[in-house]
Amino acid sequence: MRETRSAQDRLAFLAMRYGLAISTVAAALLITQSLQPTVFPTPLFFTAIVLSTWYGGTGPGLFATLLATILLLHFFVSPEHTLSPRPVDALYLAQFSLPALLTCWFVKKRKEAESALKEARDHLDAKVQQRTHELRQANEHLQLEIAERKRAEDAVHKTQADLAHLTRISTMSALATSIAHEVNQPLAAIVTTGDACLRWLAAEPPKLDRVKDSVSRIVKEGTRAGDVVKRIRMLSTKTTPHKAAVEINHLIHEVLALLSSEMLKSRVVLSVELDETCPPVFGDRVQLQQVLLNLLLNGLEAMSNIDSRPRTLSVNSRRLANGRVQVSVQDSGCGFVPIDAERMFETFFTTKPDGIGMGLSISRTIIEAHGGTLTAEANADCGATFQLELPVTSGEAP
């Protein structure tokens, strides 16, 4: 049933196409006869052939050409109403038939070219739509990846900040004795000076010049105690990094002041050579204090079991030719194997029995976040040297 219906549809379609050829040629004949042409009539028949070929295809076009030729032969070529023309009049018929066939061929090729062009354009549009859809999906996927990576980076930064805070707290615990000594010194001086001030006031007559000196000393020692507490609080408080111009030499003096009692207890000889021409560096003061504290404490711990040679700790600063500032911390401790120069900065790598391997890793992360570098090398004789380089503030760069 379905095949019969399909065959009927094809026959109806063919009938419509050939009907178009017959209709157009018949119309051309009727119009031409009504005009009563004085020359051989062909324009309207060419039009009929073009329409039949364009809308019907090659078969209807050739059929229209044949039908037009027969009608011209019958109605317009002498003798009329016969299909046997004279040789001379047959030339007019040939002048129509050959161009009509060429016209049919050209129209067919033009229709095929336009069909191919339309098909190519439709195919291109489909490819463009498909590619646009793929690019849109890729863009959405990329946006999701960017958002996920940003969340991961934020989580990493938060974890690093938490670890840095824990490291500072651990460092402060290790410095508890030194901190107590630093705070007790100005407090003891304040008490002693206060007692002396009372004695000068009780004297007859009161020695006001001595009292004035004592009060000035109390104020000075109180300020010193306040500075110690302030530095300790800055190191132990979890604050948001704030970068600004930092005097590196002043920072070194502050850190050394916190470690003075520890060095004295460990019998360490301190050597400090600071370049007074060093310009300010650009960074977070508390984080840079943490790095210096960690490097100095590592040097003290490396020399804790050394008794065969002097325990020396050297801290130097200098301005480099490339416009950066370099700070080096050198000890005479046990040193390390040169192959471990880079591994020492890996997370959880440690050579200490009770170490957790986070201090140097966090220190390098802090320095690199400041646009600098932190390296280590074994000394030729003994011990190790850590060097950090930091960029100076923009106004001081050469």
Region of poorest pLDDT, from 107-116, 224-233, 267-276, 377-386: 224-233
- Looking up tokens 């974890």 gives 159
| Predicted local distance difference test score (pLDDT) of residue 378 | 83
For the chain, the farthest-separated pair of C-alpha atoms sits apart, in whole angstroms, at 166
Q: 205 and 62, same structural domain?
A: no
**Would residue 190 count as lying in a domain?**
yes
**Would residue 153 count as lying in a domain?**
no
State yes or no: cis peptide before 87, omega within 30 of 0: no
CA distances from 57 to 83, 100, 204, 305, 338 (A): 27, 15, 136, 104, 88
Encode pLDDT of 298-352 as tens digits: 888 888 888 888 889 999 999 988 889 999 999 988 877 766 666 666 765 566 5
Query: φ and ψ at 33, to 5 degrees?
Result: -65, -35
Q: 123 and 212, same structural domain?
A: no
Q: Which of 335, 337, 340 is closest to 299 using CA atoms?
A: 335
Encode pLDDT of 199-239 as tens digits: 878 888 887 788 788 788 788 777 767 766 665 565 555 55
Domain range holding 219? 175-237
Domain termination residue (choose one: 237, 258, 278): 237
Q: 195 and 106, same structural domain?
A: no
Q: 336 and 223, same structural domain?
A: no
Secondary element (H or E) of residue 137: helix 87-174
| CB-CB contact of 69 with 100 (8 Å) | yes
Q: Quick one: average pLDDT of 287-295?
A: 83
Q: 58 and 180, same structural domain?
A: no
Percent of the chain with pLDDT over 70: 73
Pairwise pLDDT comparison (270 vs 82), residue with the higher score: 270
Q: 381 and 254, same structural domain?
A: yes
Region of poorest pLDDT, from 66-80, 84-98, 108-122, 276-290: 84-98
Long-range contacts of 367-370 (CB under 8 A, 24+ apart): 367/291, 370/243, 370/281, 370/282, 370/283, 370/284, 370/287, 370/288
Q: 394 and 260, same structural domain?
A: yes
Q: 118 and 13, same structural domain?
A: yes
| Predicted local distance difference test score (pLDDT) of residue 361 | 75
**Would residue 362 count as lying in a domain?**
yes
| Predicted local distance difference test score (pLDDT) of residue 181 | 52
**Would residue 300 count as lying in a domain?**
yes
Q: Is the pLDDT of residue 398 over 50?
A: no
Q: 253 and 230, same structural domain?
A: no
Q: 185 and 318, same structural domain?
A: no
Q: 230 and 95, same structural domain?
A: no
3-state secondary structure of 85: coil
Encode pLDDT of 343-395 as tens digits: 666 765 566 555 555 677 777 888 888 889 988 888 888 888 999 999 987 64
Q: 189 and 60, same structural domain?
A: no
| Number of folded domains that form the chain | 3
Report DSSP state, residue 90: H
**What are 324's strand-pairing partners?**
391
| CB-CB contact of 313 with 296 (8 Å) | yes
Region of poorest pLDDT, from 81-90, 92-101, 173-182: 173-182
Encode pLDDT of 27-78 as tens digits: 888 888 787 765 556 778 788 888 888 888 888 888 888 888 878 777 776 6
- Burial of 292: CB neighbours in 10 Å, binned 0-12, 13-18, 19+: buried
